Amino acid sequence: MTPTLDLQVDGLRPADEKAADLYDGMHEDEFKVLARHDVGERSLILAFDTTATWGSLYGEPNLAAFDAVRYRGQESFSLHTSQHSNLAFARKWLIERGCPSDALQLSWMRPGDELTARVEERIHRSGDRYEAVDQLAMDSEATDAWTIAVDRTAAELPVRLFLEEVQPDRGTYTLREGAFPDGGSTWRWTRAALARSTAPSISAAAVLASAPAAAAVARPDRGRSR
């Protein structure tokens, strides 16, 4: 059974206004913990936001990353959070805050192929290379998640689309990267792919891999300026 989020801050007050706003605006019982790493009084947590599925906005990010630090002597706590659609970007945020990557592995969900693992690892190590500008998550029989980002190192085709597809019945997910000249062309392709991938026999990731305007990026250095 997936545990409900518990930041372990009972009896503590927010250390600053930001922590107060974040904590007051959330309900811990709405999040299911996927992975957690505790070091002393610091907790780095990857969670699923159960409200995203039936939220007021279609396609809201359904992954939340938390960094909570408890100061027992001061009876206070700090809190930072980040919302994501793609698992790789949620893990990246936590890894950059000191969470070991091994602590973020899911026993019931694994990369579906070598290319997925390679693209995911590149995101984890990307630093400030990618600036995420939009994201979308869709819950269905085959769950899709999209992140559109600007690759600051790309000499051409700087807008990247990261498409993640989850196969719940197999316990796997695939991650692909497409390259586009601008945001408009990215969204035009995305809308067309959504329409085409409604057929059960067609995978959106397969569409991305074969699209002339968005070839899958298989090499880690593709698009990097010299």
Show me where the domains of the chain are located: 1-107, 108-226
Predicted confidence (pLDDT) per residue in 88-145, tens digit: 999 999 999 999 999 999 989 999 999 999 999 999 999 999 999 999 887 655 568 9
Task: Sort residue 40 into left (φ over 0), alpha (ψ -120 to 50) or beta.
Answer: left
Question: Sign of the C-alpha dihedral, residues 107, 109, 113, 116?
Answer: negative
Q: Where are the alpha helices (DSSP H) in the chain?
A: 17-24, 87-95, 114-124, 183-196, 204-210
Buried b (16+ CB within 10 A) or exposed e, 126-151: beebbebeebbbbeeebebbbbbbeb
> Is the predicted pLDDT of residue 194 greater than 80, yes or no?
no
Task: Sort residue 220 into left (φ over 0), alpha (ψ -120 to 50) or beta.
Answer: alpha
pLDDT > 70: percent of the chain: 80
Beta-sheet strand order (sheet of 143-151): 110-111, 172-180, 159-167, 143-151, 130-138
Cβ atoms of 68 and 28 closer than 8 Å: no
